[in-house]
């Protein structure tokens, strides 16, 4: 039994500081009548709610795999405690977690959301003997929050088995008494959301945005291409994390789900995700496919192109929902160029921008079958990146030639 003091401490750490953008929802699509499936917009953007009835840097050189070290995947916390664990994931004690975060110091907080608080931490010899110094992000489940053991266990199971340069690495977890913590590699540059929508300071360049889009697309393509496809289900800017070199990785696998098998066309499930990013057919029916993720990718690609949030009530009413406002403009060349983020002006060719805008248009198709597959998205973005690199090389070459010509000119020699 948890004593009153301990519960009070939890509440003091898990205050109302949620900073996640986008509104998370959960609807039991198979059980709730159509008239009750209306998504709430109550509260500030970023608040989580539940409407269910029950309340290495070179990708080519890094091995990508799905581990098979465990005889069976744990179905609950008891199974996990009785299992040998995943060979590449460490199991920590709660005392070690307190040492790594200096007793969960408030100034170590990196962020907070529906799951709980994320702390920066260091695991070294003072935490565990002979442990190589490792900077980490430690996410602690809020016992009074909207996510619980099921989502926490999903993260352990998926990231314990998966390895890819564009998925955040799970270093370990703690499952002691009522405590549930996840230990990830530390992503020094934070989330894409933070950089894309910042009001002051450096803005993301066109080339960085396209590199981030490509990295994220590779992560999704890896999930969709697994022996049994994995549907990520919560693709959004706050779940795309950036390392010190701005390499992008997908994080937060709490809502991930195995895709359909055999003759199945979809998975029927509770509708969960983030309002503004979830595919319309999934919200309406609860039928989940890999193409649901592709719609979410299209929303993020649109945010990257325009520098606007998926939902923004501060804009004129017809522009509140980014997809509803912008998608009809994406296949009109002149209109597209007028709505692109002005902070990127002069950093791209019109042809390349229109090519990426058309990709976003396809990803956001109301018809799931009209959306491209993720490996096709990767191919197109790779071609965009190679063209950008060629343009930079040509520009650099011309600058060097002009400089050489100026230095070798008679006027320069005379002066």
pLDDT tens for each residue of 58-76: 443 444 555 444 446 888 8
d(CA 353, CA 294): 19
> pLDDT category, 395, cuts 50, 70, 90?
low
The CATH superfamily label for domain 56-185 reads: Phosphorylase Kinase; domain 1 (3.30.200.20)
Considering the chain, what percentage of its residues have pLDDT values greater than 70? 75
The per-residue pLDDT for 51 is 37
Tokens for 243, please give them: 């390392």
The per-residue pLDDT for 407 is 52
Q: pTM for this structure?
A: 0.79
Distant-in-sequence, close-in-space partners of 42: CB < 8 Å, separation ≥ 6? 49
Q: Which of 50, 215, 234, 388 is catalytic?
A: 234
Q: 328 or 15: which carries more pLDDT confidence? A: 328
* H/E stretch holding 89: none
For 301, the 3-state DSSP assignment is helix
**Is residue 3's pLDDT more than 60?**
no
Q: Single out the residue of 216, 272, 221, 205 nearest to residue 247, CA to CA.
A: 216
- The residues of the chain that CATH labels 1.10.510.10 are 190-394
**Is residue 174's pLDDT more than 50?**
yes
> pLDDT category, 78, cuts 50, 70, 90?
confident
Q: Is 234 a catalytic residue?
A: yes
- The residues of the chain that CATH labels 3.30.200.20 are 56-185
pLDDT tens for 290-345 read 999 999 999 999 999 999 999 999 999 999 999 999 999 998 988 999 999 999 99
Mean pLDDT of the chain: 81
CATH class, domain 190-394, is mainly alpha
Beta strands in 202-317, from DSSP E residues, in sequence order: 230-231, 240-242, 248-250, 257-258, 267-268, 271-275, 287-288
d(CA 228, CA 261): 7
Question: CB under 8 Å, gap of 24 or more: what pairs does 69-77 form?
Answer: 70/160, 70/161, 73/157, 73/161, 74/153, 74/156, 74/157, 76/149, 76/153, 77/149, 77/153, 77/175, 77/180
The per-residue pLDDT for 34 is 37
- Exposed (0-12), middle (13-18) or buried (19+): which is 269, by Cβ within 10 Å? middle
Q: 293 or 16: which carries more pLDDT confidence? A: 293
**Is residue 39's pLDDT more than 80?**
no
């Amino acid at each position: 039994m948890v004593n009153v003091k301990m519960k009070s401490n939890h509440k003091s750490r898990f205050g109302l500081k949620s900073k996640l953008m986008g509104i998370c929802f959960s609807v039991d699509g198979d059980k709730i009548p159509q008239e009750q499936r209306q998504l709430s917009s109550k509260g500030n953007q970023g608040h989580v709610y539940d409407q269910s009835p029950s309340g290495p840097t070179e990708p080519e050189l890094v091995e990508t795999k799905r581990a098979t070290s465990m005889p069976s995947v744990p179905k609950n916390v008891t199974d996990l405690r009785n299992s040998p664990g995943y060979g590449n994931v460490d199991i920590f004690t709660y005392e070690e977690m307190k040492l790594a975060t200096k007793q969960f110091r408030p100034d170590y907080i990196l962020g907070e959301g529906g799951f709980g608080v994320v702390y920066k931490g260091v695991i070294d010899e003072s935490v565990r003997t002979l442990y190589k110094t490792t900077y980490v992000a430690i996410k602690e489940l809020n016992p009074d929050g909207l996510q619980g053991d099921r989502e926490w266990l999903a993260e352990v199971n998926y990231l314990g088995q998966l390895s890819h340069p564009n998925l955040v690495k799970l270093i370990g977890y703690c499952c002691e008494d009522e405590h549930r913590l996840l230990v990830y590699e530390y992503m020094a540059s934070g989330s894409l959301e933070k950089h894309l929508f910042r009001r002051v300071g450096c803005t993301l360049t066109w080339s960085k945005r396209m590199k981030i889009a490509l990295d994220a697309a590779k992560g999704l393509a890896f999930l969709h291409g697994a022996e049994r496809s994995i549907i990520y289900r919560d693709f959004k800017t706050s779940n795309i994390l950036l390392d010190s070199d701005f390499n992008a990785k997908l994080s937060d696998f709490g809502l991930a789900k195995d895709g359909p098998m055999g003759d199945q066309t979809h998975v029927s499930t509770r509708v969960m995700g983030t309002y503004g990013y979830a595919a319309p057919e999934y919200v309406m029916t609860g039928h989940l496919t890999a193409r649901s993720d592709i719609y979410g990718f299209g929303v993020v690609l649109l945010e990257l192109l325009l520098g606007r949030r998926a939902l923004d009530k501060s804009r004129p009413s017809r522009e509140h929902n980014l997809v509803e406002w912008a998608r009809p403009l994406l296949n009109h060349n002149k209109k597209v160029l007028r709505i692109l983020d002005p902070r990127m002006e002069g950093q791209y060719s019109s042809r390349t921008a229109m090519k990426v805008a058309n990709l976003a248009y396809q990803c956001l198709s109301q018809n799931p079958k009209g959306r491209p597959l993720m490996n096709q998205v990767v191919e197109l973005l790779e071609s965009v990146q190679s063209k950008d690199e060629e343009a930079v090389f040509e520009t650099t070459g011309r600058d060097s030639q002009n400089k050489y010509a100026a230095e070798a000119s008679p006027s320069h020699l005379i002066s």
